[in-house]
């Protein structure tokens, strides 16, 4: 089933040949809506296929399918509105120094986009997921490298997307799927691939990112690689509601067997009685969580080995021991360590690296200086969370919030990071290694990854694309001479 280099080449060339078919925004929006309709209509079959390959369960997968369909509909609205084109018109102005010529700018699609499907979201971050939906919304054909954990689900979803395209007179090759590790490497190197989107491991993503940069013509590579998603609990918050915070943390870090990219994998909590109450609640919550199935045996083995390595470090305790739960399952747990052990480089640095699965590390601090010292050593993240007391909402926690802000793309206060709303203001990205770019893979602005701006200078009206003509025949939102019209 793995695609050969020749088959990858054919898929990319076929996608490249049909890129102009996506030029009509009205047709594109209708295509995205029909794709959502067909996916929802095939819910029983899609969920059954995905559950057979991932064991994520019908309830989780039904919700994920609804999210996937909602993403497609949301991007249809983005396409229809047209604001994503970011149109600017500056008329000729000879009174300026130096004088301005007539300048008109619009964003255009990059071309064929390679999408690398994620293991942990067989729908929302896979063949019909956000990368594919946003690329199609931008007007870019897509070639998806399916994840090996769910090949049948990938093919089923691809067939539904291709059927949706055909219903609107679009060539089916606007979406295609290839399988296999070597196919993924060939895909990122193909000269007709103009950009790539990836969700996966740091090791795999970095290898593809380097390959994208090493091409004779480098291309944008928007990769989501790994994230620790730190949480800071103030002493006042632990004193006010330590039990509630412990329970919330336990629920968030075990959700989906800890296989969410936004799992809180590292927590700074206070020493002392208030912190003890938090840990007691966390212990009760995690202990009551049953064993779970990891997405594949490779991930399970990595999790078991990773927690064993971390638990063996000096001064690391396991109030609830994570690890092998059975022949095919893992048990949730958490580790504790004095925050002072992490203030400087050493063997405990392993605790500052993501461990994919149902485990978190709680570093107990004695002072705010220790919080600062540890935060200064953290890598980039998708999220960072601050748990504060009611009394600290007056601004007294602003310093901690300022320390967390450089570390992540989404900052939460008194919430939990698992669960990413598909909303216009959402940002799902962050400093490296969370992502390899500053863009988001969730929300309306995800479409910007697959576009580039072009300015037309002193161009006769008849030669301008319709989006830039003076009478605005398409009725698009535009900024003209600095004013939004």
Residue % of the chain over a pLDDT of 90? 96
Q: What is the mean pLDDT of residues 448-465?
A: 98
Nearest to 482 by CA among 180, 4, 20, 103: 103
| Per-residue model confidence (pLDDT) at position 326 | 80
Q: What is the mean pLDDT of residues 89-112?
A: 97
∠ Cα 340 316 399 (to 5°): 35
Judged on CB neighbours under 10 Å (0-12, 13-18, 19+), 203 is exposed
Active-site position among 64, 186, 224, 235:
224
Residue 328 has pLDDT above 90, yes or no: no
- Which neighbouring-strand residues pair with 104? 89, 456
Residue ranges of the chain that CATH labels 3.40.309.10: 230-413
Nearest to 176 by CA among 142, 138, 139: 142
Q: What is the mean pLDDT of residues 325-332?
A: 88
pLDDT by residue (tens digit) across 155-166?
999 999 999 999
Q: What CA–CA distance (Å, rounded) separates 258 from 291?
A: 11
Active-site position among 157, 261, 355, 403:
261
Which of the four pLDDT bands, split at 50, 70 and 90, describes residue 145? Answer: very high
Residue 439 near residue 446, CB atoms below 8 Å: yes
| Per-residue model confidence (pLDDT) at position 327 | 78
CATH entry, 5-225+437-479, from 3.40.50.720, 3.30.70.270, 3.30.750.24, 3.40.605.10:
3.40.605.10
- Which neighbouring-strand residues pair with 338? 364
Residue 313 has pLDDT above 90, yes or no: yes
pLDDT by residue (tens digit) across 48-63?
999 999 999 999 999 9
Residue 415 has pLDDT above 90, yes or no: yes
**What DSSP string runs through 397-424?**
THHHHHHHGGGEEEEEESS-SS-----T
pLDDT by residue (tens digit) across 364-383?
999 999 999 999 999 999 99
- CA 345, distance to chain mean position in Å, is 29
| Per-residue model confidence (pLDDT) at position 124 | 96
Q: What CA–CA distance (Å, rounded) separates 384 from 476?
A: 37
Q: Where are the alpha helices (DSSP H) in 376-474?
A: 398-404
Tokens of 473: 């025949």
pLDDT by residue (tens digit) across 203-215?
999 999 999 999 9
CATH entry, 230-413, from 3.30.9.10, 3.30.930.10, 3.40.309.10, 3.40.50.300:
3.40.309.10
- Which neighbouring-strand residues pair with 142? 113, 175
Tokens of 336: 């504790």
For the chain, report the end-to-end CA distance as a whole number of angstroms: 52
Q: What is the mean pLDDT of residues 260-267?
A: 97
Residue 422 near residue 68, CB atoms below 8 Å: no
With H, G, I as helix, E, B as strand and everything else as coil, classify residue 102: coil
Residue % of the chain over a pLDDT of 70? 100
Residue 1 has pLDDT above 80, yes or no: no
Q: Is 77 an active-site residue? A: no
Residue ranges of the chain that CATH labels 3.40.605.10: 5-225+437-479
Q: Is 224 an active-site residue? A: yes
In the structure, how many helices (H) and strands (E) does the chain have? 13, 20
Which of the four pLDDT bands, split at 50, 70 and 90, describes residue 75? Answer: very high
- How do the residues of the chain divide into helix, strand and coil, expressed in percent and rounded to 5? 45, 20, 35
Which of the four pLDDT bands, split at 50, 70 and 90, describes residue 222? Answer: very high
């Amino acid at each position: 089933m793995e695609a050969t280099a020749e088959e990858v080449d054919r898929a990319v060339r076929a996608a490249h040949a049909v890129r102009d078919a996506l030029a009509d925004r009205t047709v594109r929006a209708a295509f995205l809506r029909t794709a959502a309709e067909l996916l929802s209509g095939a819910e029983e079959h899609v969920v059954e296929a995905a559950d057979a390959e991932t064991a994520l369960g019908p309830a989780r997968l039904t919700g994920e399918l609804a999210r996937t369909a909602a993403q497609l509909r949301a991007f249809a609205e983005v396409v229809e509105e047209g604001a994503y084109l970011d149109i600017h018109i500056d008329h000729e102005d000879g009174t300026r120094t130096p004088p301005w010529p007539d300048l008109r700018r619009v964003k255009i699609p990059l071309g064929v986009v390679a999408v690398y499907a994620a293991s942990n979201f067989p729908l929302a971050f896979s063949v019909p997921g956000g990368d594919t939906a946003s690329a199609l919304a931008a007007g870019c054909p897509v070639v998806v490298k399916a994840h090996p954990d769910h090949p049948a689900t990938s093919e089923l979803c691809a067939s539904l997307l291709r059927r949706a395209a055909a219903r609107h007179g679009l060539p089916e090759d606007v979406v295609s799927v290839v399988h296999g590790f070597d196919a993924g490497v060939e895909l990122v190197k193909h000269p007709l691939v103009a950009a790539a989107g990836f969700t996966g491991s740091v090791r795999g993503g970095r290898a593809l990112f380097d390959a994208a940069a090493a091409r004779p013509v480098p291309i944008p590579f928007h990769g989501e690689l790994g994230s620790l998603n730190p949480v800071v609990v103030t002493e006042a918050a632990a004193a006010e509601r330590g039990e509630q915070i412990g329970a919330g943390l336990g629920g968030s870090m075990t959700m989906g067997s800890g296989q969410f990219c936004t799992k809180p994998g590292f927590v700074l909590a206070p020493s002392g009685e208030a912190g003890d109450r938090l840990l007691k609640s966390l212990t009760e919550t995690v202990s009551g969580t049953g064993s779970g199935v990891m997405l594949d045996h490779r991930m399970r083995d990595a999790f078991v080995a990773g927690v064993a390595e971390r638990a063996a470090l000096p001064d690391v305790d396991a109030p609830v021991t994570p690890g092998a739960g059975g022949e095919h399952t893992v048990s949730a747990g958490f580790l504790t360590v004095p925050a002072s052990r992490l203030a400087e480089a050493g063997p405990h640095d392993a605790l500052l690296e993501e461990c994919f699965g149902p485990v978190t590390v709680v570093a107990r601090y004695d002072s705010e200086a220790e919080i600062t010292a540890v935060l200064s050593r953290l890598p980039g993240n998708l999220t960072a969370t601050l748990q504060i007391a009611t009394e600290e909402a007056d601004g007294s926690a602003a310093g901690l919030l300022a320390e967390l802000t450089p570390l992540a793309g989404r900052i939460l206060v008194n919430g939990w990071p698992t669960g990413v709303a598909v909303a216009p203001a959402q940002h799902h990205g962050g400093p490296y290694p969370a992502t390899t770019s500053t863009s988001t893979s969730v929300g309306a602005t995800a479409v910007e990854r697959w576009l580039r701006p072009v300015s037309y200078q002193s161009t006769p009206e008849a030669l301008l694309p319709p989006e830039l003509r003076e009478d605005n025949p398409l009725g698009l939102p535009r900024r003209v001479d600095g004013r939004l019209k």
